[in-house]
Amino acid sequence: MVFDRRESAAYLAGLLAKEAARAFQARAKQSGFAPGQLPVLLELWSCDGLTQRQLLDRLDIEQATMANTLSRMERDGLITRSPHPADKRAQLVHLSERGRAMRADALAAAEHAEAELFKGFRRFERELLLEYMRMMITNVARDTRA
């Protein structure tokens, strides 16, 4: 049997991720943020003043990636950092005025990207695909942690 990448879920998932990221990146840039910053923004819009450790735990990303993301966000004026009052090793991450003000535009960019992905899908197809994707992520995560 010959491997056919067009029949490979892993290949298609990678291609989908690349194309979706490319489309979202154009929208995000217009709104003043990078796509990788959206998860941090979402957490801070939900609960401002988290520590880097809390963000790491909530987003399940690598420490180095988080540190770089926060540095870029601070440089771009989206967040500020201040010393934690009870833990001298920690800093609190707060949204700047600019970070708070971009919420509506950023969410609209994310919603537009989602709508583009699911163009032509019926509601149940969308829900079913999302459920299958979550199952596949669980399967892969289970295999990589074993």
Residues 30-42 have pLDDT tens digits of 888 888 899 999 9
Whether 47 has a pLDDT exceeding 90, the answer reads yes
Residues 6 or more apart from 112 whose CB is under 8 A from it?
A: 27
Please list the alpha-helical segments (H only) found in the chain. Answer: 9-31, 38-46, 52-59, 63-75, 97-101, 103-117, 123-145
- Say what the pTM is: 0.83
Rounded mean pLDDT of 121-138?
95
Domain range for 116 is 1-32+102-146
39 and 94 inside one domain: yes
81 and 113 inside one domain: no
pLDDT at 142 (0 to 100):
77
66 and 25 inside one domain: no
C-alpha 38/C-alpha 44 separation (Å) is 10
Residues 6 or more apart from 39 whose CB is under 8 A from it?
A: 59, 61
Number of domains in the chain: 2
120 and 133 inside one domain: yes
pLDDT at 2 (0 to 100):
81
Sheet of 50-51: strands edge to edge?
A: 50-51, 91-95, 79-83
C-alpha 120/C-alpha 129 separation (Å) is 13
96 and 106 inside one domain: no
142 and 120 inside one domain: yes
Residue 97: pLDDT band with limits 50, 70, 90? very high
Whether 57 has a pLDDT exceeding 90, the answer reads yes
Residues 77-94 have pLDDT tens digits of 999 999 999 988 889 999
Residue 144: pLDDT band with limits 50, 70, 90? low
pLDDT at 145 (0 to 100):
62
Token output for 101: 């003000």
Place of tokens 């540095």: 71
What region does 51 belong to: left with phi over 0, alpha with psi -120 to 50, or beta? Answer: beta
C-alpha 69/C-alpha 112 separation (Å) is 23
